Amino acid sequence: MSAKTTALIALEEKYGAHNYHPLPVALTRGKGALVWDANGKKYFDFLSAYSALNQGHNHPKIVAAAKAQLARLTLTSRAFHNDKLGAFLKLLCETSGMERALPMNSGAEAVETAIKAMRLWGYRSKGVDQDRAEIIVCEGNFHGRTTTIVGFSSDEDSWNGFGPATPGFVKVPFGDADALKDAINANTVGFLFEPIQGEAGVIVPPPGYLKKARRLCSTYRVLMCADEIQTGLGRAGAMFACDLDGVKPDLFVLGKALSGGLYPVSALVGSDEVLGLFKPGTHGSTFGGNPLAAAVGEAALRVLLAEKLPARSARLGADFLKRLKTLKHPQIKEVRGRGLMMAVELNIPARPLVLDLMARGLLAKDTHENTVRLAPPLVITEAQLDQAFRILSAAIAALPQ
């Protein structure tokens, strides 16, 4: 590690809270599927900021929209209308097939908004007694880091030390429709789930699970709320991962790639029946729906649509996953994924492999100790994927037997 990189990391370590364990690299520039460190070394980005960079680093059309808006107006608060929000909301609703959108900033904030929306609908529309509403979640979930959300996490690192947990949540095994059915009762207002569990290690549910969940939610009048912050906007090989199973939820939670990585933009989208229950004073955010966010969000969506990135993810991802499955090593436990959202699970800790990949010019991230996630920007070229595969193949071949 160079003196320059060492100094940059030391400065961050000295003055920052140690709530992350980054790889020992300091990045200074990015373009498309590539990033460069402080010493000018080039890497393939196979994390994409946890899917926030589906459109790639510094997509010129999104950057241009941001620059143009920065010179005009950045923030009004929602106390006033602005000339950018309406067009963004219209495109977001048309893209998602929903009637209304409620813009926020971070993904966790959008999930909190979804929790409030499901509870409000439960009390106002379903007739659940006040303060009795229950939301079913899945074991292994990752929906954010707020105190409410970590209270229903299965990850001890997420919840330990931050209690007491907020009541009103019931956990069931992911992918088990029978367990979901058994958990539903008269107080159940929502089912919050990830179509593919990203942070858990790209866990893909069994075929038919989402369709069964949709039928159960419809039968028992429960809102089906898909957290597509990581899986949505093209990552899994369709605009939304739910599309892959022919399922339309009642609510989508969106974020990350909604801004192409330029700015925190998130949203809850759904029907007028649900989002129409919010009235002035019941929910809000100073920065949510600001003109800069709206301009960036609209540009990010237009890039996804114009460049047909969901279809590109499906095509390139299917080919890359097939090639990954040809890799043979006794330490490989499983290779899985959909679209350009893949994982290699090992029988040994994954951190050494991630460090070796970094040394060879590919940045990925280990999760749950034994799994490496592989999620490049959707704009990555076939030639770049070929190069990346050669790096992965060499690094896996070098694993201890």
Q: Cite the active site residues.
A: 142, 227, 256
Candidates 214, 316, 304, 226; CA nearest to 261 is 304
> Which amino acid makes up residue 57?
H
**Burial (CB count <10 Å: 0-12, 13-18, 19+), residue 1:** exposed
Distances (CA, A) of 238 to 44, 107, 313, 354, 382: 23, 20, 8, 28, 19
Assess contact for 313 and 378: CB atoms under 8 A: yes
Cβ distance 266 to 255 under 8 Å? yes
The two tokens of residue 381 are 């070229």
Joined tokens for residue 383: 């030639």
One-letter amino acid at 391 equals I
Distance CA 141, CA 124 (A): 28
The count of C-alpha atoms lying within 13 angstroms of the C-alpha of 325, restricted to the half-sphere facing its C-beta, is 11
Residue 267: burial class (beta carbons within 10 Å; 0-12, 13-18, 19+): buried
Residue 268 falls in which region: left (phi positive, over 0), alpha (psi -120 to 50) or beta = beta
